[in-house]
Amino acid sequence: MTALNTETPKIQLHLSGCKEGLQALQALANQACEGECLSDVHRNRIVLAMDELFANIHKHGYNNQGGDIECSAARIGSDDECLLEITLRDFAPVIEDVKQCKGVNPDTLKENPVAGGLGMHLIYAITESFEHTPLEDGNQWRLVFNLKEEDKKYES
């Protein structure tokens, strides 16, 4: 893991492996939220979404063998909007249709408890927007979080 540039709003990391990847992304999420008066629950959601995306890339993209992931975080929009954009770029096989990664529908779990597949559901539930772009040699994932505590999405 190498922090390339921590002086600017953008932070870039090169990750490989599960253990260091999770720790680095948790640190990145916490660093990106620095200065924000976020509750533990709100901050945990941001870390969780990154954890889930990383786990999916590690497990399905790199088949648990590790690989490079580039990551950047930046505040976007006006001060009033208070948005955090996190971009992950992997070099795993290209996913043409991200809908194939939709995962399990939690509404069916009561009748049919199936273990696994909740990660994508959690990411969609947490983020303001979640976008996938297929690249020539990998995938780009863009997550946008609303850092405003009072936002209805974060009331629970």
Q: Does 152 help bind another protein (rule: CB under 8 A)?
A: no
Using CB under 8 A as the binding rule, the residues of this chain from 67 to 126 that contact another protein are 106-107, 109-110, 113-119, 121-122, 125-126
Cβ closest to another protein, residue 74 vs residue 101? 101
- Rounded to 5 degrees, what are φ and ψ at 20? -70, -30
8 A C-beta contact, residue 98 and residue 92 = no
Sign of the alpha-carbon dihedral angle for 6, 150, 106, 94: negative
Read off the tokens for 90: 């992997």
Mask: binding to another protein, 10-39, rule CB under 8 A, as x and -?
Answer: --------xx--xx----------------
Q: Does 47 help bind another protein (rule: CB under 8 A)?
A: yes
* Angle at 100 (CA atoms; ends 50, 133), nearest 5 degrees: 60
- Rounded to 5 degrees, what are φ and ψ at 57? -65, -45
- Chain residues in the site for another protein (CB under 8 A): 18-19, 22-23, 40-41, 44-45, 47-48, 51-52, 55, 58-59, 106-107, 109-110, 113-119, 121-122, 125-126, 156
